[in-house]
Every structure is written in C-alpha cells, then in structure tokens.
Structure 1
Amino acid sequence: MKTTIIRAVAALSLAAAALMAPTAANAYTDPAVVTVSPSVATPGGVVTFTTGRAAFQGSEDIAISATGTAAKGLALASVTTETNDTLRSQAINGNLNAQVRFPTTAKGVYSFTFTGTQSGVVLHASVTVNAAGAPSAPARGGLAVTGFDAGSTTGLWLTGAALLAGGAAVGIGTVVRRRRASKS
C-alpha cells in the first residue's frame, strides 16, 4: 500500500510536469517563407510567389496545388491554358518564383502548396482575392499557425496546478494517516 501511494503521487507529479514543459514543435524551422505580391489579388489578376532563400534544388520542378473557388481556372501567368489541374513551375537557383493568374470568377481565399519534385520540400501560402482589390486579410506563407498562444494556455496552467495540489494532498494525507496508525 505504501509504495502504491508513492507511485501514484510520483505519476501525478510527472504528468503535471509534462503538461508544463514546452513541446518539441518549437524546434522546427521552416525551410523558407513564401512571399506573395500583391498580398491581395483581384479577379483576373496575377500574383507572384517568391522565396527569400533557396529552399529547392537548383532548377528543380515544383508541383503547385491550389485550393479555392474556381481553382481549376488558375493558370501560370506565362501559360495561356484555360484549365490546368497540375500547375508546375521551376526553381531558379533553388528559389521559388512563380506567377499565377487568377480567373475572372476568382473570389475568396486560395491556399497554395509548392512541392519540390526531387527534394520533397513543401511550402505553403495563401492569397485572398477581392473584387475591389482592397486588403481584407494579409497573405500568409511559411509555417501554419498551430498550437496555443499565451492567453489560451491559462486553463492548461490551472489544470497542472490542480494536479500538483491534488498530488500534494494525497501525499500529505498518506503521511498523516501513517503517523496516526503508528501511534495507535
């Protein structure tokens, strides 16, 4: 019984410590951040996706995937096809430099994925298409926004503190009970 309670307290303490520890997700570095210019496009307009550093191999082929309203109508700006399901570009000295033309029916947010066919490097970006061309949301590239911010972790901290307090209460209760039992 004595070792069972000690093990339970130790397990609760370890669980609380694990909740309080930072995660390994912070160790990941993005291979490159995709810059979108202009950050908000217009229907029928052209946007340019670039990277500030070489994320791909030399002149590697880059498969481009896009998701959004009328996404099948997207075309590379240098290609005059009406519909293109598998857009492709080519890295220039490892850098992304792709111009994409939106169809005249484009609207909303478009998510782009750029995948190096040899290196396997995957980059992400999104573009908002507005009829007026006025910024409604900035274009974003690089790592996806995941995890918690400081404000949303309050509940996690309170839970960890409650676990620690509960473990301490169990430990103190065990010590008090044993002392009473030994005095009897």
Structure 2
Amino acid sequence: MKTTIIRAVAALSLAAAALLTPTAANAYTDPSAVSVTPSTVAPNGTATFTTHRPIFDGDEDIAISVTGVAAKGITLASIASETNDSLRTKAVGGNLRAQVHFPANAKGVYTLTFTGVRSGVVLHSSVTITPVGAPSAPAQGGLAVTGFDAGSTAGLWLTGAALLVGGSAVGIGAVVRRRRASHD
C-alpha cells in the first residue's frame, strides 16, 4: 500500500510536469514581433509587414493566411491569389518583409498569420481597412471580446502548479506519517 501511494504521487507529478512543459506547437509568440506600416490602410491600399529581428529559419518559405471581408481579393507582390491561404513569401535572413495589397472592396479588420514552412514559427498581425474620409479609429461597441490570451491564463497555470505542489506535499506527508506509525 505504501509503495502504491508513492508510485501514484510520482506518476501524478510526472504527468503534471509534462502538461506544464511548453511545446513548439503552442509556444507563445510576441505580438510585437510583426509590425505593420501603416496600421490603417484605405481600400485598394498596401501595407508592409516586417520583423525587426530574425524570427524564421534563414531564407525559408512563409505561408500567409488572411481572414477578413473579401480576403480572396488580396494580392501579394502583384500576384492575385485564388484563396486567402495560398499567399507565400520568403524570409530573408530570417526576417519577414511582405507587402500585402488589399482590394478596392476591402473593409474592416484583416487578421494575417505568417507560418514558417520549415521552422513552424507562427506570427500573427492585423490591419484595419478604413475607407477614405472615414474616421481612422474603429467604432466603439460591437461584439464583446471573448476567449483567453496568454496573459489571462497565467493565473490558471500558477494555480494549477500550486495545487500540484500542495497535493504532492499532502501525499508525501501521508506516506511519511504511515511509515512512522508502522515503525512504532
């Protein structure tokens, strides 16, 4: 019975450690890693997305996915794309520099995802398309922001780690107490 509890505590500790270890697939990327110039573009305009330091592997291909109204009309380097996730560019020395041209019927916010084909590095950015003469600040109100970001889940991770440490301490304490009681 004593070894069963010890084995159970050890197994739980290993499982928790495996869950708390970050992996490349869900690693956090700095939202400021990609800058967009300008951040607000008129319809039929162009925005340039760049990184200030090498993020990708050397000169690897970068797949670009765009989500937004009329996203299929977006072009890259004057080449029209069939679908919104078929755009590609190439990193130069690990740096991103992609000029994205938005169609005349573009409007609203566009979310872009840049994925290194070889490295698997994923970066996100967005740009707002504002018609000429419209206010550059987005309207207040609308749908509520839902979901989690990395900052709001840090407390959950810390709480889970504290519970894991506390549970391990209780389990070890119970084992020590039983051993002492059996030796007396």
For the aligned pair, the TM-score class normalised by the smaller chain equals 0.5 to 0.7
* Distance across 2 between alignment mates of 1:76 and 1:97: 11
Decide whether aligned partners of structure 1 residues 166 and 127 sit closer, same or farther in structure 2, where only a CA change above 3 A counts: same
Q: Give TM-score scaled by structure 1 length.
A: 0.57
* Distance across 1 between alignment mates of 2:15 and 2:91: 49
Aligned to 2:11: 11
Aligned pairs, how many? 166
What is the 5 A alignment of 1:1-184? 1-15=1-15, 18=17, 23=22, 25=24, 33-52=33-52, 57=59, 65-76=65-76, 78=78, 84-85=81-82, 97-113=97-113, 125-131=125-131, 132=134, 134-136=136-138, 148-149=150-151, 152-183=153-184
* Distance across 1 between alignment mates of 2:125 and 2:87: 16
> C-alpha displacement at 1:99, in angstroms?
3.7
Is 1:39–1:128's contact at 8 Å kept on the other side of the alignment? Answer: yes
Is 1:40–1:133's contact at 8 Å kept on the other side of the alignment? Answer: no
Is 1:42–1:133's contact at 8 Å kept on the other side of the alignment? Answer: no
Q: Percent identity?
A: 52
Larger Rg: 1
Decide whether aligned partners of structure 1 residues 171 and 109 sit closer, same or farther in structure 2, where only a CA change above 3 A counts: same
Decide whether aligned partners of structure 1 residues 44 and 22 sit closer, same or farther in structure 2, where only a CA change above 3 A counts: same
> C-alpha displacement at 1:22, in angstroms?
5.6
One-letter identity of the residue aligned with 1:5: I
Unpaired segments ≥5 residues, structure 1: 137-145
* Distance across 2 between alignment mates of 1:117 and 1:6: 45
* Distance across 1 between alignment mates of 2:23 and 2:165: 23
* Distance across 1 between alignment mates of 2:50 and 2:170: 57
> C-alpha displacement at 1:69, in angstroms?
0.6
> C-alpha displacement at 1:127, in angstroms?
1.6
SS in 1 for 2:154: helix
Unpaired segments ≥5 residues, structure 2: 139-147
